[in-house]
C-alpha cells in the first residue's frame, strides 16, 4: 500500500494501540530524528501524552513530538531498524554535493522545498577540489558551465580556472544556504514498497567515530556524477612495475616528474593535458593511444568550437554538423592520423551521444606531438620491472606511469534499483529522458552533456518535486488542525 506524505504528517496523530515513536524535528523542519520509544517508556502510566514540546540539544532547539506513524512503523520490520539512528527527511534526499547536487538543491530552495544533501567527502565538489590537476580550466566557455539562478561573476574570464570555478560553487552553496552533511557516505538506498518511502543508509565518519544513519524520505535525487570513481585498468605485470604508478586524479603538476620518462595511459582530455603539462615541466611523456580519438581545435577564428557546434545543431542535422566539425578540424589541425592519432569512424558528436566518449579539445598537446616532445605509442601488452612492452612488440624504458584511463559512475554499488539506472551506472534512457524514474527517484548530471546538462536536469527535477510538495503541504496544513483536535479529544 502506498501512503502519501500527507498521511505521514501531521506528527500529532496519537493512538494508544500502536507503539509510539519519538520524532525530533529540527527547527527548520528540514529533517527529524526518529526513535522508537522503549516499551517501558510507553507503559509508564504517569506519562502524559503531549503533542509537542520544545527541547534544546547542543544549543539547537528542537520540537519534541510524541507520535504514532503507522506506516513508518511498518518500516520497523527488522531488529536492525532499531539499532541505527533514523532521520526522517521532510523533502528529498540528494546524494552528492557536486555541481549537480548543488544545482538541484538551489532550485529546490527557490521552490521552498526543504532537502538534505549527503556528501561522502568533507567538502563540496570534491572531484574539482581534490582530484584535478593544477592547470585545469573549464574547456567550454563560461556561458555553458554556469548553474541555474546565479551567473558567474562578470569579471570571470571566458574559460574560468579551476580555482575560480570552485570559488563560484562555494558562493553558490552559500547563496542558496546549502549545507551538505559532509563525511557521510551512502551505503545503500532502496525503495520500501510497504511504506512508499526511500530508505537511505549511510556511514558517517566525522571525527573518529563511525555512525550508521538511516534517512527516510519520499524523494531520492542521485547526483553522484559520471566521474564518481577512477577506472583502474588491469594490465599484465603492472603490479611488478617498480616505478611510480598513479591515476590522473592524483596528478597535480609535472614538477615532480622533471627529467623522467613518463608513460601516460589514455588520450582523453586528461591524458592529453597531463602529457602537455609533463612536457612543460621537462619530463618526456609517451602517450598510449590504443584505439582512436577525435581531436578538435578549442577555437576556430576566435570562436569556441563547442559554441559553433551548438549553433550549427540549431539548423543542421547531427551528421552534417559532424562533417563540418571534421572539416574545420582538418583545416586548423591538419591530418592528425600520421601522428598515430586515428579518428573513430563515427563523427565526434554522434560518438559522444552514442558512447559518451568526449572529443578532445586541443590545448597545445597536438603541437607537442607534432614536434615529437610527446610520443604517441600503441596499446600496452605488459609491464616488466622497469619497462613497458607494447602490442607491436616494442619495449620502452619507463620511470613512472600515469593512468589517464577515465572514470565511472558508482550508482550500482549503492542504489538497489533496476528501472531508471542500467548496470553501467547511467540512466537507461538517453538524454533528455533519463532524469526521472519511478516512486520519487531522480538522476541529475548523467546526461553526458557536461554542466549545462546537469543544470537542465536540476531545474526539471526541482519543478517536478516542487509541484507535488506544494500540493501536499497545503493539504497537510488543513489536516494538521483536524488531527490535532482529534488527539486532544482522545486523551
Ligand atoms: N577541462 C575540462 O573540461 C576537462 C574535462 N575532462 C572530462 O572528464 C571526463 C574524463 O576524461 P578522461 O579522464 O580523459 O577519461 P576518458 O574516459 O575520456 O578517457 C580515457 C582514456 O583512457 C583510455 N584507456 C582506458 N583504459 C585503457 C587501457 N587499458 N589501455 C590504454 N588506454 C586505455 C581510453 O581509451 P579508449 O578510448 O580506447 O577506451 C581513453 O583514451 C571526460 O568527459 C572529459 O571530457 C577531462 C579533463 C579536462
Ligand atoms: O567533458 C565532458 O564530459 C563534457 O561533457 C563537456 C564537453 C567537453 N567537450 C565537449 C565536446 C562535446 C560535448 C561535450 C563536451
What's the 3-state SS for 328-339?
Answer: HHHHHHCCCHHH
How many angstroms separate the alpha carbon of residue 248 from the centre of ligand 1? 10
Which of 43-52, 90-99, 297-306 shows the lowest per-residue confidence on average (mean pLDDT)? 43-52
Evaluate: CB of 267 within 6 angstroms of ligand 2.
no
The per-residue pLDDT for 206 is 77
How many angstroms separate the alpha carbon of residue 360 from the centre of ligand 1? 9
How many angstroms separate the alpha carbon of residue 249 from the centre of ligand 1? 11
Task: Report the pLDDT averaged over residues 42-54.
Answer: 38
Which of 59-73, 256-270, 384-398, 424-438 shows the lowest per-residue confidence on average (mean pLDDT)? 59-73
Q: What is the residue whose three cell numbers read 547563496?
A: 175
On whether the CB atoms of residues 276 and 257 are closer than 8 A, the answer is no
Task: Report the pLDDT averaged over residues 277-304.
Answer: 98
Which CATH superfamily, name and number, covers 231-407? FAD/NAD(P)-binding domain (3.50.50.60)
Which of 47-51, 238-242, 409-413, 424-428 shows the lowest per-residue confidence on average (mean pLDDT)? 47-51
The per-residue pLDDT for 364 is 98
Q: Check if 93-228+409-473 and 231-407 are the same fold.
A: yes
- 37 alpha-carbon distance from chain centroid: 37
Q: Which ligand is nearest to the CA of 162?
A: 1
Q: Which ligand is nearest to the CA of 304?
A: 2
CATH 3.50.50.60 fits 93-228+409-473, yes or no: yes
On whether the CB atoms of residues 203 and 212 are closer than 8 A, the answer is yes
Q: Where are the domains of the chain?
A: 5-90, 93-228+409-473, 231-407
Nearest to 466 by CA among 111, 6, 106, 101: 111
Residue 22 CB burial class (10 angstroms; 0-12, 13-18, ≥19): middle
The per-residue pLDDT for 27 is 53
How many angstroms separate the alpha carbon of residue 404 from the centre of ligand 1? 6
Evaluate: CB of 290 within 6 angstroms of ligand 1.
yes
Evaluate: CB of 267 within 6 angstroms of ligand 1.
yes
Measured between alpha carbons, how far is residue 373 from residues 149, 290, 330 in Å?
Answer: 44, 19, 22
User: Closest ligand 2 atom, CA of 139?
Assistant: 8
On whether the CB atoms of residues 459 and 111 are closer than 8 A, the answer is no
pTM above 0.80, yes or no: yes
pLDDT tens sequence across 411-447:
999 999 999 999 999 999 998 999 999 999 999 999 9
Amino acid at each position: 500500500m502506498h501512503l502519501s506524505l500527507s498521511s505521514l504528517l501531521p506528527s500529532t496523530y496519537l493512538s494508544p494501540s500502536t507503539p509510539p515513536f519519538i520524532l525530533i524535528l529540527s527547527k527548520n523542519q528540514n529533517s527529524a530524528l526518529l526513535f522508537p520509544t522503549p516499551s517501558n517508556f510507553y507503559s509508564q502510566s504517569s506519562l502524559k501524552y503531549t503533542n509537542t514540546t520544545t527541547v534544546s540539544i547542543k544549543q539547537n532547539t528542537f520540537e519534541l513530538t510524541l507520535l504514532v506513524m503507522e506506516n513508518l512503523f511498518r518500516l520497523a520490520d527488522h531488529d536492525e531498524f532499531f539499532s541505527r539512528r533514523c532521520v526522517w527527511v521532510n523533502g528529498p534526499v540528494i546524494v552528492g554535493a557536486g555541481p549537480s547536487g548543488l544545482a538541484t538543491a538551489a532550485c529546490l530552495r527557490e521552490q521552498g522545498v526543504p532537502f538534505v544533501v549527503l556528501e561522502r567527502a568533507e567538502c563540496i565538489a570534491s572531484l574539482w577540489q581534490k582530484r584535478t590537476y593544477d592547470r585545469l580550466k573549464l574547456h567550454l566557455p563560461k556561458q555553458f558551465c554556469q548553474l541555474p539562478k546565479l551567473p558567474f561573476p562578470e569579471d570571470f574570464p571566458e574559460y574560468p580556472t579551476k580555482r575560480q570555478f570552485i570559488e563560484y560553487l562555494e558562493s553558490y552553496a552559500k547563496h542558496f544556504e546549502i549545507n551538505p552533511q559532509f563525511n557521510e557516505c551512502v551505503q545503500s538506498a532502496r525503495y520500501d514498497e510497504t511504506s512508499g518511502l526511500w530508505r537511505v543508509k549511510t556511514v558517517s565518519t566525522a571525527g573518529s567515530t563511525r555512525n550508521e544513519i538511516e534517512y527516510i524520505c519520499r524523494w531520492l535525487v542521485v547526483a553522484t556524477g559520471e566521474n564518481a570513481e577512477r577506472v583502474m585498468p588491469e594490465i599484465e605485470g603492472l603490479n611488478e612495475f617498480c616505478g611510480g604508478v598513479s591515476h590522473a586524479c592524483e596528478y597535480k603538476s609535472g614538477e615532480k616528474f622533471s627529467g623522467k620518462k613518463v608513460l601516460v595511459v589514455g588520450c582523453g582530455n586528461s591524458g592529453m593535458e597531463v602529457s602537455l603539462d609533463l612536457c612543460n615541466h621537462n619530463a618526456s611523456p609517451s602517450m598510449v593511444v590504443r584505439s582512436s580519438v577525435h581531436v578538435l581545435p578549442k577555437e576556430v577564428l576566435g570562436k569556441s568550437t563547442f559554441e559553433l557546434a551548438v549553433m550549427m545543431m540549431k539548423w543542421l542535422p547531427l551528421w552534417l554538423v559532424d562533417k563540418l566539425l571534421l572539416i574545420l578540424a582538418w583545416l586548423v589541425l591538419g591530418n592528425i592520423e600520421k601522428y598515430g592519432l586515428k579518428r573513430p569512424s563515427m563523427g565526434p558528436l554522434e560518438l559522444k551521444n552514442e558512447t559518451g566518449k568526449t572529443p578532445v579539445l586541443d590545448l597545445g598537446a597536438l603541437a607537442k606531438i607534432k614536434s615529437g616532445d610527446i610520443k604517441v605509442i600503441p596499446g600496452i601488452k605488459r609491464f616488466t620491472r622497469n619497462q613497458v612492452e607494447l602490442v607491436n612488440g616494442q619495449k620502452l624504458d619507463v620511470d613512472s606511469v600515469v593512468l589517464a584511463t577515465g572514470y565511472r559512475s558508482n550508482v550500482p554499488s549503492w542504489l538497489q534499483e533496476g528501472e531508471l539506472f542500467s548496470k553501467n551506472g547511467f540512466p537507461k534512457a538517453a538524454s533528455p529522458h533519463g532524469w526521472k524514474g519511478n516512486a520519487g527517484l531522480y538522476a541529475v548530471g548523467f546526461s553526458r552533456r557536461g554542466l549545462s546538462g546537469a543544470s537542465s536536469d536540476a531545474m526539471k527535477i526541482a519543478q517536478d518535486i516542487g509541484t507535488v510538495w506544494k500540493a501536499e503541504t497545503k493539504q497537510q496544513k488543513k489536516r494538521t488542525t483536524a488531527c490535532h483536535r482529534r488527539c486532544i479529544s482522545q486523551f
